[in-house]
Amino acid sequence: MGKGLFPSAKRTSDWHNEGDDFILPTLSVTKRELAPWIMEAVCLPSLGMPQDAFTLVLDGNPRPDLASEIFAVAQQDASWQMAFERSNAWLSSSHEEARRSASYIMDGFPKAIHNIVDGTSLAKCNLRPLPNYGPDGSPNPEIDQSLYTNPQWPLFQYTTHWYFHSVKEFEVRTRKPDWLDMRRIAWE
């Protein structure tokens, strides 16, 4: 006991799950690829899991530059959700209209991303996230300038502008692990 249900379940990698080549659009990075993993990990202590029993590591290898760029999209999305919540404070996170907005990822998502960057989360990363704040202590403008120039957009404008805030596709190509690599990973 103590090793988990399966010996190879100690470590997984999404880099090898999709095949050799696939396109990852920025509009699906956060809601489909990162947020579910991050938010599930962050809530585990509140469900009774001991604090040091689990760590989610967002591993940037074998492509740390690409992984950092992809994580920057999640940081932008978290900033969009924060600005959306500020501008539409009358909406609660349980309100159906808020949850349907493209600008809303998940309840608590901006704080979860902020804590990962600050190193205070049980979700860690070995890539280079953008800092939360600039040198002067203000929010980092590299994350998304439009949020600071249009802070009071109504609900429909956030939804409309969401689809243009980060339009890009990441071409992900990786080498599939060979049999020896898979054996090494399974026994680590």
pLDDT score at 7: 36
Q: Name the residue ranges covered by the structural domains of the chain.
A: 23-132+140-171
**Per-residue pLDDT for 144 more than 60?**
no
Per the model's pLDDT, the better-predicted residue between 187 and 128 turns out to be: 128
pLDDT score at 2: 39
Distance CA 104, CA 149 (A): 19
- Cis omega before residue 62 (within 30°)? yes
Per the model's pLDDT, the better-predicted residue between 155 and 77 turns out to be: 77
Average pLDDT over residues 114-134: 84
pLDDT digits (tens, 9 = 90+) for 4-13: 433 333 454 5
Cα distances (angstroms) measured from residue 20 to each of 14, 27, 69, 176: 12, 21, 19, 7
Entry pTM: 0.69
DSSP output for the chain: --S-SSGGGG---GGGTS-SEEEEEHHHIIIIIIHHHHHHHHHGGGGT--TTS--EEE--TT-HHHHHHHHHHHHHHHHHHHHHHHHTTTS-TT-HHHHHSTT---TTHHHHHHHHHHT-SSEEESS-PPPSB-TTSSB-TTT-THHHH-TT--HHHHHHHHHHHT--EEEEE-PPP-HHHHHHHHH-
